[in-house]
Amino acid sequence: MSTTPIADRRTTSVAARATDLSKIYGQGETQVVALDRVTVEFRQAEFTAIMGPSGSGKSTLMHCVAGLDTFSSGSVRIGDTELGSLKDKQLTKLRRDKIGFIFQAFNLLPTLTALENITLPMDIAGRKPDKQWLDSVIQMVGLRDRLGHRPSQLSGGQQQRVAVARALASRPEIIFGDEPTGNLDSRSGAEVLGFLRNSVRELGQTVVMVTHDPVAASYADRVVFLADGRIVDEMYRPTAETVLDFMKQFDAKGRTS
C-alpha cells in the first residue's frame, strides 16, 4: 500500500468533471460508441490514472475532457468553465492557459534548447513565466545543467522530463498525459512518474494519466478503470499488485461472460 495519506490533498475542489459524457464515432452500422455516459471527477492536487483494455475509450475520454476533441452529448467542465459553452477561440485559449499536455511522443522542437522548449507555450501566449515557479519546476525535474541542450543531445528520459517541465511551466489547472512513459525504459519511466507524483504532492498539481502499466498506475492516488466506454471501477491508493490483480479478475470475467 502507498504510505502517503490521501488526506494530504490540499483541497477537495474539482479541477475537471465529465457528466454523462458520450462520444459516438461514425453512423449506422459502422457506429462506435467510444464513451457511453461517463461521469467522472478529477479533484485538485490528485493524481489519477485511467486504465482499461485497448479500445475501451481511455484516449477519447482524455481528449474530450482536455478540450482536444468534441463530444456527442453530456458536458465537461474545467474548473468553473463548461467546455460546451465555448467558441473555438475561447477553447484554444482555455487549452493554452489552463491545461498542460504530456504525450507519448515527447513533441519537442528540435531546434530549440530545453529551456526554450519549456517556455515555448508561454512565449506563444505572450505570457511571462513566473521565475520562481519555473525555477522550482526545473529543480524538480533535475534539468538545471541541461537547459542549453537541444533534444537530440538529451536521452529519452531527459526529453520527457523537458515535456513534463513544459506542461508544468504555466501552472495549469490540470495536466493530462496519454501514456507519458510509453516510450521510456523502466528507469526513465520511473523518474518521470516520480516527478509527476512530486508535482502533485509538492506543488499541488492535478494530473490525469492514461496508462496500461500497473507499475505506472501505482504512482497515482487513484485508478479509474474503463471498459467498452464505461467506467467499471475505481481504486484508491493503488499498488502494482492490486492493479494487476484487478486486471486479471477483469480479464477472467470478460472471458466467462
Ligand X SMILES: Nc1ncnc2c1ncn2[C@@H]1O[C@H](COP(=O)(O)OP(=O)(O)O)[C@@H](O)[C@H]1O
Q: Name the site residues for ligand X (rule: CB under 6 A).
A: 25-26, 32, 34, 52, 54-60
What crossing angle do the helices spanning 131-141 and 156-169 adopt, rounded to 10°?
A: 150
Cα torsion angle, 5, 7, 11, 16, sign: positive
In the complex, what is the shortest distance from the CB of residue 50 to Mg ion, in angstroms, rounded to a whole number? 9
Q: Does 104 bind Mg ion (CB under 5 A)?
A: no
Residue with Cβ nearer Mg ion (17 or 58): 58
Q: CA dist 195 to 45, 133, 179, Å? A: 14, 15, 15
The grid coordinates of residue 151 equal 533534444
Residue with Cβ nearer ligand X (133 or 250): 250
In the complex, what is the shortest distance from the CB of residue 34 to ligand X, in angstroms, rounded to a whole number? 3
Residue with Cβ nearer Mg ion (103 or 133): 103
In the complex, what is the shortest distance from the CB of residue 183 to ligand X, in angstroms, rounded to a whole number? 16
* Residue found by looking up cell 541542450 in the block: 149
Residues 6+ apart with CB under 8 A from 17: 40, 41, 42, 76, 77
In terms of Cβ atoms closer than 10 Å to its own Cβ (0-12, 13-18, 19+), residue 183 is: middle
In the complex, what is the shortest distance from the CB of residue 250 to ligand X, in angstroms, rounded to a whole number? 14
Choices 12-20, 58-66, 88-96, 109-117; region in contact with Mg ion by CB under 5 A: 58-66
Choices 51-59, 69-77, 97-105, 140-148; region in contact with Mg ion by CB under 5 A: 51-59
CB 17 within 8 A of CB 208: no
Q: CA dist 241 to 91, 159, 165, 191, 218, Å? A: 39, 29, 30, 20, 9
Q: Does 59 bind Mg ion (CB under 5 A)?
A: yes
In the complex, what is the shortest distance from the CB of residue 63 to ligand X, in angstroms, rounded to a whole number? 8
Q: Lay out the site mask for Mg ion across 9-48 (x = CB under 5 A, - = otherwise).
A: ----------------------------------------
Q: Which residues bind Mg ion (CB under 5 A)?
A: 58-59
